A = this chain, B = another copy of it.
Amino acid sequence: MSGNTFGKSFTVTTAGESHGLALVAVVDGCPPGIELSEADLQLDLDRRKPGTSRYTTQRREDDVVKILSGVFEGKTTGTPIGLLIENTDQRSKDYADIAKTFRPAHADYAYTQKYGFRDYRGGGRSSARETAMRVAAGSIAKKVLAAKGIQVRGYLSQLGPIKIEQFDWDQVEQNPFFSPDASKVAEMETYMNALRKEGNSVGAKISVVASGLFPGLGEPIFDRLDAELAHALMSINAVKGVEIGDGFACVEQKGSEHRDEMTPEGFLSNHAGGVLGGISTGQDIIAHIALKPTSSLIIPGRSIDSDGNPIEVITKGRHDPCVGIRATPIAEAMMAMVLCDHLLRHRGQNADVQCTTPVIAAEAE
């Protein structure tokens, strides 16, 4: 029944639920000699943190991460890195009344069917709270990638019906939506306010891009780079679709239109999203994900209780009206993990991940 470890060479194992004592993670396989501090991890954690704007859940968590092991004198040692985030705001009382009900579109029913019962406080393990550890672990992956000149960044490409039209990386961190289009922010604010008033929620589309990658990363046929990206991204709560490059637009494309022609100066387009045959081409890796609307609504919905009786469900408590808003750093973290894992599996050219050089003068016989 295990399923809480991701990766092969760079592995991330997490534990912890919404209202337990703490979230914990073990990041294993990080190369030695990389500078790492808690402040490095806090940057992305703060980007994901709830309660920072009125458009996300009002649960307030400091999300302060502690590095318990694997770092010595400011550098990774090559041994596993233990991470801890304590849960400080565990208001369990809000959830007592849902202990025996199943919220429509929530994991309640599936979890109870699988395990026989469930930790009903705040969604337990199925809560998006779990993603805080993904973000912390992803920051370590980003540091490893940065040492090779690889950068992973994400942005909101659509919020419900509102699509971005202009693109400026510099805008992404300037608004609470991670929108690269500053001209849409006001519209998004208005939309979200109306949505909150309505007690409803909406979906979103997030895009993630890795740049600076060399060609040759990925292990066909089942461990293709794109397949593992799809795995990683689809494992994020609420994600229902993953595209690489042009994605579903390919269905109506002709071959002459889709193919990325090459010249001695490089590719002329990037419909493929940086992956061919499951292997990186050296172009930007581009992925898009669709997130469904949150299931926790104030609008009543039909459901059943654990005895099978029909009930009407209204979800109180603190929830995100659009989980997509906080999903950008999570999606970045998952892409970073996949790339870092593949980087450490990779042999041959560009395989050297910087490692402190051994200082031993005398070789063994």
Chain A 302-313: CB-based contact to B (< 8 A → 1; otherwise 0): 111011111000
Q: Shortest Cβ distance from A218 into chain B, in angstroms? A: 7
Contacts of A115 in B (CB 8 A): 32-33, 77-79, 348, 355-356
CB-CB contacts below 8 Å: A153-175 with B: 158, 160-161
Task: Give the docked Cα–Cα distance between A294 and B240 (Å).
Answer: 26
Within 8 Å of chain B (Cβ to Cβ): is A50?
Answer: no
Interfacial chain B residues near A248, Cβ < 8 Å: 205, 240-241, 243, 248, 290
- Contact A266-B362, Cβ < 8 Å, known A1-B29, A234-B242, A302-B261: yes
Indicate if A96 sits at the interface (CB-CB under 8 A).
Answer: no
Segment touching B, from A41-49, A54-62, A178-186, A269-277: A269-277
**4 extra interchain contacts, Cβ-Cβ under 8 A, other than A79-B124, A104-B262?**
A1-B219, A160-B254, A344-B347, A347-B353
Distance from A155 Cβ to chain B, minimum over Cβ atoms (Å): 14
Q: Are B221 and A251 in contact (CB under 8 A)?
A: no
Q: Are A68 and B102 in contact (CB under 8 A)?
A: no
A and B contact pairs by CB, cutoff 8 A, 8 listed: A16-B68, A72-B124, A77-B124, A111-B277, A114-B218, A283-B365, A307-B361, A351-B351
**Which B residues are in CB contact (< 8 Å) with A160?**
251-252, 254
Contacts of A246 in B (CB 8 A): 240, 292
Q: So how many copies of this chain end up in the complex?
A: 4
Tell me whether A201 is interfacial, beta carbon within 8 Å: yes
Nearest-Cβ distance from residue A99 to partner chain B, whole angstroms:
10
A242 touches B245 (CB 8 A): no
Query: Is A201's CB under 8 angstroms from B4's CB?
Result: no
Interface size counted on chain A using CB atoms at 8 A: 175
The secondary structure that dominates the A interface is loop
Tell me the A84-116 residues at the B interface (CB within 8 Å). 84, 102, 104-107, 109-116
Say whether B84 contacts A254, CB under 8 Å: no
Bound complex: CA A351 to CA B1 (Å): 12
Distance, CA A8 to CA B223, complexed state (A): 13
Q: Report if A7 contacts B (CB, 8 A).
A: yes
Asked if residues B119 and A79 are in contact (CB atoms below 8 Å), the reply is: yes
Which 10 A-B residue pairings sit nearest by Cβ, starting from the closest? A107-B277, A308-B361, A266-B365, A3-B219, A3-B223, A282-B364, A116-B356, A2-B29, A105-B259, A201-B255
Q: Confirm or deny: A233 has a beta carbon within 8 angstroms of a beta carbon on chain B.
A: yes
In contact, A255 and B109 (Cβ under 8 angstroms): no
Q: How far is the CB of A142 from chain B (nearest CB, A)?
A: 18
CA distance A104 to B365 in the complex (A): 15
A326 within 8 A of B: no
Q: Is the beta-carbon distance between A110 and B264 smaller than 8 angstroms?
A: no
Residue A152 interfacial (CB < 8 Å): no
Contact A22 B240 (CB under 8 A): no
Query: With A255-B297, A301-B256 known to touch, is A13 a contact of B5 (CB < 8 Å)?
Result: yes
Distance, CA A215 to CA B365, complexed state (A): 10
Q: A104-B259, A221-B125, A230-B231 are in contact. Are A254 and B356 (CB under 8 A)?
A: no
